[in-house]
Amino acid sequence: MATPVKMPELGESITEGTITRWLKQEGDQVEADEPLFEVSTDKVDTEVPSPVAGVLKTIKVQADETVEVGAELAVIGGGGGAEPAEAKEAKEQEPAEPKEEAAAEKKPSKDKAAARSGNGNGNGKAKGDGNGKAAAVVSPLVRRLAREHDVDLSQVTGSGSGGRVRREDVEAFVQQRGQEPAAAKAGGGTEAKAKPAAGAATGPQVAVPLAKGLREQVVPATRTRKVIAQRMVASLQVSAQLTSAVEIDMTRVMRLRERAKDDFKQREGASLSPMPFAVLALIAAIREFPTVNSAMDEDGNLHVYQDVHLGVAVDTPKGLFVPVVKNADSLNLAGLAKAVADVAKRTRDGKIGPDELSGSTISLTNTGSRGAVWDTPIINQPNAAIFATPAIVKRPVVVDDPDLGEVVAVRHMMYGILTYDHRIIDGADAARFLVKVKEVLEAADFEGDLGLERE
């Protein structure tokens, strides 16, 4: 019996995946649940196990090809790896396809190609004046992107197998086109070639030439790195981003942590870092300033969320990922410490689910874990803000002692940093939000969460 291997469902919002590598070759014996191939989406890279034991008879989708969820990728059969004699003989006896018919079959007419690219469907968005070859082999997601951004797919250079146009190619094309003058984007008439206004760009910006004559190693960017790069640039283009910060005296938090960390580790099975304290303060500030926990849709409507789904930036060998702790506002200090440690570990191990990498309402990046004392993070779209916790350092500061007045003392200090979307949040509100975070952390009334008596 033959068992088809299909592209699995990798999450609610994921409609397609790219085969990055086959871990078995045709003719290889595979066991049930043994890793069979690697698949990459715009959210996660993961290994997919074999559904059954048997021999990998046929691979139908090669590496670097993108297909929809449910598409047949390969066939696994029982027995040896050689092709059955009957099947081989039948294949040899099949009549050869006439070259003219084959060429006609493989080369669709302009009308059909235009229809596949979306032209003639009534929305008037996708152009049909190209050769149509690219539109005939792209996925529905790519065609949808082309329609949304008014892109003629025949003008896009594909980076996939056989020149296949992929999602990243359309996004890069749109980004490059965004640097052209408005007249160039308008179309091919003489009006479109009119001289731009003074001070306007005269064409696509040219990258600064690379240095010549140097010893170098050219390292191809991984798909994950390309996706991260595109998302970072896209985030800056989508929202008006500003960064504000306050100084936070973390001395009480650090003293509480020092008192409780050993018992906490033994009791909860997780290390007690300063991060869950910061998250509790973040949630307390959100309750007072809920707009920070929001997003703006394409129509300019503001979606203010009542639940806090916290995206946590995690550094992995493959690059930066942002898994989500759902309903973080329902967790106490111990629950947050365990939840953050759990998603971070599973992300680094490549075991995080695709659905756990989306749906955040606000994000946090802990650059202090690597020693950075200052940061200007980029917003994780479509969030309205991202909070950064850089390193906590000891340094002399002026404090107001009730008996001695103003004195210089050594304190544990940290910058509380917020990058926010100025379309949604005003600077004054961002400052008020940060001051609330500061007040909660400096008061450090966390003894109850730690099982300690207040000193």
Predicted local confidence at residue 239, as pLDDT: 93
Whether 75 and 140 share a structural domain: no
Distance in angstroms (rounded) separating the CA atoms of residues 175 and 233: 9
Last residue of a domain, one of 134, 156, 184: 184
Catalytic machinery residues? 422, 426
Q: Which residues contact 280 (CB under 8 A, 6 or more apart)?
A: 333, 336, 440, 446, 449
Predicted local confidence at residue 153, as pLDDT: 84
Q: What is the CATH number of the domain that holds 115?
A: 4.10.320.10
Whether 19 and 72 share a structural domain: yes
CA distances from 49 to 10, 35, 37, 106, 114 (A): 13, 4, 7, 33, 38
Torsion of CA 257, 261, 263, 265, to 10 degrees: 140
Predicted local confidence at residue 190, as pLDDT: 34
The closest of 49, 54, 52, 170 to 118, measured between CA atoms, is: 170
* Structural domains counted in the chain: 3
Whether 150 and 257 share a structural domain: no
Whether 313 and 419 share a structural domain: yes
Whether 357 and 428 share a structural domain: yes
pLDDT, tens digit only, all 455 positions of the chain: 899 999 988 776 678 888 988 999 999 999 988 989 988 877 677 788 899 999 999 999 998 888 888 999 999 997 544 444 444 444 444 444 444 444 444 444 444 334 333 444 434 335 433 334 444 456 656 776 787 788 888 888 877 656 767 777 887 888 777 654 443 444 443 333 333 333 333 334 556 888 888 988 888 887 778 888 888 998 999 999 999 999 999 999 999 999 999 999 999 999 999 999 999 999 999 999 999 999 999 889 999 999 999 999 999 888 889 999 999 999 999 999 999 999 999 999 888 887 888 899 999 999 888 889 999 999 999 999 999 999 999 999 999 988 889 999 999 999 999 999 999 999 999 999 999 999 999 997 888 888 777 76
Whether 445 and 377 share a structural domain: yes
Largest Cα separation within the chain, whole Å, is 101
Predicted local confidence at residue 99, as pLDDT: 40
Whether 133 and 166 share a structural domain: yes
Confirm whether 413 is domain-assigned.
yes
Confirm whether 236 is domain-assigned.
no
Q: Is the N-terminal amide bond of 382 cis, ω within 30° of 0?
A: yes
Whether 111 and 74 share a structural domain: no
Q: Which residues contact 169 (CB under 8 A, 6 or more apart)?
A: 156, 157, 158, 159, 160
Whether 355 and 436 share a structural domain: yes
Partner residues linked to 40 by β-bridges: 18, 45
Whether 392 and 264 share a structural domain: yes
Helical segments of 312-426, H only: 333-348
Predicted local confidence at residue 193, as pLDDT: 35
Confirm whether 365 is domain-assigned.
yes
Tell me the Cα Rg of the chain. 28
Q: Which residues contact 321 (CB under 8 A, 6 or more apart)?
A: 44, 313, 314, 347, 352, 357
Confirm whether 189 is domain-assigned.
no
Whether 160 and 63 share a structural domain: no
Confirm whether 446 is domain-assigned.
yes
Confirm whether 210 is domain-assigned.
no
Confirm whether 194 is domain-assigned.
no
Phi, psi of 417 (to 5 degrees): -120, 135
Whether 178 and 306 share a structural domain: no
Q: What is the CATH number of the domain that holds 389?
A: 3.30.559.10
List the domain range (segments joined by +) for residue 135: 106-184
Confirm whether 98 is domain-assigned.
no
Last residue of a domain, one of 184, 203, 234: 184
Last residue of a domain, one of 164, 184, 204: 184
Predicted local confidence at residue 104, as pLDDT: 41
Is residue 82 within 8 A of residue 60, CB to CB? The reply is no
> 433 exposed, middle or buried (CB, 10 Å; 0-12, 13-18, 19+)?
buried
Model's pTM, two decimal places? 0.65
